[in-house]
A and B are shown apart, each in its own frame.
Chain A
């Protein structure tokens, strides 16, 4: 098939600004996006920089944006992203500094991984000739997060990281889950305590982008949601994130809908006047557009709220 590969180029040695460059490629049907890029590099333009190694979705080197979405170039068929004679857009991953062309600086990525103490911390090891006893189910459960190849696709397209670089992000949190859920690890309490803080599990915006772009089915957001449940179940002290969720649930259970004023008050804490005042501009904007939430004392129960209550009760019973 014929395809135009439009690559976002960048070379700090020749230009301060990135530029777009198009390459015409004649590719066999079975070609992946990576095969096409390697062909460009070997036959047309040896200055094109990209990372790649295994060609088989194991090493995690070749994550990049293909038509605006992060993917592994090696397991993306060219014919699945561009029609014969069409143009495919190739860019470096997002949320990370570009070093050259499609190569990004992974310091940010690994810094976040290192921040979750990414190694097993058992309370006590069995003897030198004995393994830990653990069920096969518990190990199989870890197969999903261990399937992560640290390619960075989830970090590239994470919408929460885009607005707050302090967020640990999907890859590091999935890595953290791998230890919290490992029956051999002895530090899950401390781990959950740390994840309960600013930058941890509550900063996920639940946009599903990481689930969508992960090439290995790790589904980081699902792991983050499991961590949230573990944080709540662990009885960790309230933080704005956990109180936000609690207030949300309480309000809906009580009245059938959300009391947005109390949500802010509960999340930040009644006595946290500076934070509550910092919400004032938002309140004023809402007021101007006629969207100011009902003051708490006027918040009434919606019709049929008893049915909502029953749903909560059934869900609680189901958990036990």
Chain B
């Protein structure tokens, strides 16, 4: 009999929200993550979470419109409407769980302004919102007593007869492979930022779930849509939250000008992220930068506000850039931050086409939520503070739908041969002869290629170069050895497998980028600088074929908002 009704892979916000929802729906649930849940990268979301809860003039429609416009009209509007409509009750649910949201003078929930939003609808906990929600979510997991496989690394999805039936995973503390069967698997394992170097992302963000689904036959959507965040530190790529600009910080060029006034006269620093990042890059390339950066200036906000509302940012600038932000502006530049694309799902978080014959598909019983998934609500560009929202809204949905699906799924056994095959594969990998290649060196090359050719500005030539280089890295990967052979906590082995995952995602990103012959959202092509709604108001798809990604397109769902020119 199957070990679990619902197995959630990844234990960040989407994963834990899914686990709680499935648990409440009566399913037997387990979570599995290669790190302890509170180490997950949801921690890094600093600024807040959006909801049109009760602003006097705000409305769910306004939130939907801002998100649609932010997505450069690539987001599916039915999914966006669902997310924004669910947002207010999810904020309240989080508050009831114990999140210590900022309050107004009456003791009710208070908000701050954020990029690309018409109203101040971002709920927050200083500049540690993700951390504050993640830790409270884990409190709820402890309360519910949900089974948690901590430091288990998934190496394979078990797919039989077109249905996902569990995972093969390595228990990191022993190095043993195990088969864990489940009637449904929810992939909530985050994005693939580490395919880029530098990136704001944690070292664990290697897109494991994206690659696992892709290899298992699922469809990836809009993989070319990679967000560069406007304010990252030059050295190690550490993020300084948009909350800084939300609270009123300026962006300055080398002449001390607030250059965003030229690019986005109305919203200025709070235009959407793709717009701000391109503007910064233009300033830098046209010679108005400072050592490859522009400046983030908080001085006029005053030390007290900085230390209460932006304390983490203040510490990060101090520790990693050596700048006291109350006294001096800090050099920042656009840096890889987020992937809007991911595993194609429907509004119910299903990674297969339950409706039938719509031109995409994936294994039945496989679900995805959070950054690993593409519903799609962010389209070509995600608005700040919409990612936390997506994790909880679609995490919850995934948990509920998976629990219901599991109830109707007959029990089964996974044949022992699955585990034996995996063990044989692992042995072959460990037995590879040492040819002198290092995993770290290959990873850095991949990161450099992606950051050079798939960044804020792209071209056909650049992406063709990237594709060739990624393919050559994949060749070398085929004979890349694992140097350390031990069982206990063998990170050399883990990094090896992760690199394989990232190379698959990278190839899908480049192939999708080459397919989209227009500029939209984060995908800005210098050789084709205009959006082309006539031909390209479409999603790109990528499925794994015999020779790499097979790309295609899917229509975008437009409900009430016809594409318009995008001006901030």
Q: Which residues of A contact B (CB under 8 A)?
A: 11-14, 30, 35, 41-43, 46-47, 49-61, 75, 77, 99-101, 103, 106, 113-114, 118-120, 122, 125-126, 128-136, 139-140, 142-143, 146-150, 182, 184
Question: Inside 8 A of A120's CB, which chain B residues have their CB?
Answer: 97-98, 136, 139
Can you list 17 A-B contacts with CB-CB less than 8 angstroms, sorted by A residue number?
Answer: A14-B486, A30-B235, A46-B484, A47-B484, A49-B488, A49-B490, A54-B43, A59-B202, A60-B38, A99-B489, A101-B489, A119-B139, A120-B136, A133-B106, A143-B126, A146-B125, A146-B128
Contacts between chains A and B (CB distance < 8 A), count: 161
Contact of A47 (CB < 8 Å), options: B96, B109, B235, B483: B483
Quick one: CB contact mask for B20-61 with A, threshold 8 Å, 1 for yes? 000000000000000110111101100000000000000000
Most buried by B among A13, A56, A118, A132: A56
Contact residue range for chain B? 35 or more
Contact of A53 (CB < 8 Å), options: B126, B204, B488, B489: B204
Docked-complex contact B202 and A55, CB < 8 angstroms = yes
Docked-complex contact A129 and B39, CB < 8 angstroms = no
Nearest CB of chain B from residue A135's CB, rounded to whole Å: 5
Docked-complex contact A131 and B108, CB < 8 angstroms = yes
Question: Which residues of chain B in 103-138 are interfacial with respect to chain A, using CB atoms and an 8 Å cutoff?
Answer: 103-110, 125-126, 128, 131-132, 135-136
Judge if B101 is at the interface, Cβ distance under 8 Å. Answer: yes
Docked-complex contact B438 and A146, CB < 8 angstroms = no
Question: Inside 8 A of B100's CB, which chain A residues have their CB?
Answer: 139, 142-143, 146, 182
Docked-complex contact A136 and B102, CB < 8 angstroms = yes
Q: Which residues of B contact A (CB under 8 A)?
A: 35-36, 38-41, 43-44, 88-89, 92, 95-98, 100-110, 125-126, 128, 131-132, 135-136, 139-140, 142-143, 173, 202-204, 235-236, 238-239, 308, 312, 315-316, 319-320, 438-441, 483-484, 486-492
Question: Inside 8 A of B105's CB, which chain A residues have their CB?
Answer: 136
Docked-complex contact B35 and A53, CB < 8 angstroms = yes
Knowing A56-B320, A118-B139 touch, does A13 contact B44 (C-beta < 8 A)? no
14 new A-B pairs (CB below 8 Å) besides A42-B439, A122-B96, A146-B100?
A: A12-B488, A47-B490, A54-B202, A55-B202, A56-B320, A57-B315, A58-B128, A59-B202, A114-B142, A118-B139, A119-B140, A131-B108, A133-B106, A150-B135
Docked-complex contact A134 and B107, CB < 8 angstroms = yes
The 6 A-B pairs with the shortest beta carbon distances in the complex, nearest first, are: A42-B440, A120-B98, A46-B492, A136-B103, A47-B484, A119-B143
Docked-complex contact B492 and A53, CB < 8 angstroms = no
Nearest CB of chain B from residue A14's CB, rounded to whole Å: 8
Contact of A55 (CB < 8 Å), options: B106, B139, B238, B438: B238
Contact of A56 (CB < 8 Å), options: B173, B316, B486: B316
Question: Inside 8 A of B489's CB, which chain A residues have their CB?
Answer: 49, 99-101, 103
Question: Inside 8 A of B491's CB, which chain A residues have their CB?
Answer: 41, 46, 49-50
Q: In the bound complex, what is the Cα–Cα distance between A72 and B536 (angstroms)?
A: 47
Docked-complex contact A59 and B438, CB < 8 angstroms = no
Question: Inside 8 A of B38's CB, which chain A residues have their CB?
Answer: 59-60, 149-150
Question: Inside 8 A of B40's CB, which chain A residues have their CB?
Answer: 59
Docked-complex contact A54 and B104, CB < 8 angstroms = no
Docked-complex contact A43 and B438, CB < 8 angstroms = yes
Who on chain B is nearest to A56 by CB? B238
Docked-complex contact B488 and A13, CB < 8 angstroms = yes
Contact of B92 (CB < 8 Å), options: A61, A99, A129, A148: A129
Q: In the bound complex, what is the Cα–Cα distance between A132 and B108 (angstroms)?
A: 7
Contact of B44 (CB < 8 Å), options: A14, A42, A56, A113: A56
Knowing A99-B173, A143-B125, A146-B100 touch, does A132 contact B202 (C-beta < 8 A)? no
Question: Inside 8 A of B135's CB, which chain A residues have their CB?
Answer: 146, 148, 150
Q: In the bound complex, what is the Cα–Cα distance between A238 and B490 (angstroms)?
A: 51
Docked-complex contact B238 and A147, CB < 8 angstroms = no
Q: In the bound complex, what is the Cα–Cα distance between A184 and B125 (angstroms)?
A: 16
